[in-house]
Structure 1
Amino acid sequence: MSIRTRTTPLTVVALAAGLALAAVTPALAGTTSAARPAAATTAQGDPRNVTQRVADFYGAYIDAVHDHEDPASGADAKALRDFYLSASARRKVSAWERKNHADGILFAQNVPVKWKVAYTGSGMGHATSRVTLTWSDGAHPQLTRIDVQSDLTTRKITDLKPAE
């Protein structure tokens, strides 16, 4: 028997085992194309930027109210309001909530699945940001928009109202 005759079956078996292992390993590691995580994202911020502070507030606030089963979520949401909103804005939000029986930060009774914030202008010591809330996933998600005014000196949110 020649060396070639003996090594051919071994080569075929080794190649088949290697291909099988290569096919199974990603599935076992949870990295198949269907389970692959999205591209890495980064986030950054600047506490001096009022639009960034509005984004920070909405991100943290939505996280807190989304986790309503966590006993601390209600206290967290209140603490966020106390820190980011001026006293007059908190009073206005509370009055709106009593009248409408809904959340006066989100202007809704439920919690959005996504949010984004964009700077829309400034003047007379204030900056305005537009918050876009996305309420569902899919091809045609429902969106609402909120105009948020911030004081440039204190960086506190001084007014919130549904965008027209």
Structure 2
Amino acid sequence: MTRLRSAAAALALSAAAVLPIAAPAHAESRAEAQVNAFFGQYRDAVLGQNPNQDPTDVREEFMTSELNTELDQWAADHDADPVFRAQNVPSGWSVAYGGSGAGHSTVILTEYWAGGGHTDVWYQVRLDTLRIDGLEDAPQ
């Protein structure tokens, strides 16, 4: 009986060494959820898949008026979409927490492009209102 228990214990230990232990899932922060919702609605509006809003409406819903003014100027200066930071539409995206401080949270949105490649765009979200008040290219 002791030998059987020892064999069972050895088997359990070897199985535990082989089986991966799942890491806890990352819970999306409120700021990440806000940027994710904004980007999905904005992308749908640009693609004409959001019959109730155009891209300007989506920006006004989620962003401060000051940021919208900055983005309009960025678009004029770069002849590209100020949210996508490109002339085309990304095929997908993901969001990640980038830190918090001074009443804001940074969310790093990674845009994925057809044919490969990606672009990171940094969003700043006010924690009290969840309004997006900053959007810029990733620091170099």
Identify the residue that residue 123 of structure 1 maps to in structure 2.
101
Identify the residue that residue 62 of structure 1 maps to in structure 2.
43
Task: Count residues with an aligned counterpart.
Answer: 113
Q: Deviations over 1:113-150 (max 9, x none)?
A: 0011111100000000000000115xxx1100000001
Q: Which amino acid aligns with 1:100?
A: H
2:130 matches 1:151: no
Alignment of 1:34-113 (within 5 A): 49-67=30-48, 72=51, 75-113=53-91
Structure 1 gaps of 5+ residues are 1-44
| TM-score normalised per structure 2 | 0.74
2:50 and 2:134 map into 1 onto residues whose CA distance is 28
Structure 2 gaps of 5+ residues are 1-26
Q: Which amino acid aligns with 1:50?
A: A
Partner SS for 2:54: helix
1:63 and 1:113 map into 2 onto residues whose CA distance is 11
| TM-score normalised per structure 1 | 0.64
Residue 66 of structure 1 and its aligned partner are, at CA, apart by 2.1
Larger C-alpha radius of gyration, 1 or 2?
1
Correspondent of 2:113 among 135, 158, 162: 135
1:78 and 1:151 map into 2 onto residues whose CA distance is 20
Q: Deviations over 1:38-83 (max 9, x none)?
A: xxxxxxx98x81210000000111111123xx6948x521111001
Q: Which amino acid aligns with 1:111?
A: V
CA RMSD in angstroms comes to: 2.1
Partner SS for 1:81: helix
Contact 2:41 2:50 in 1 (8 A): no
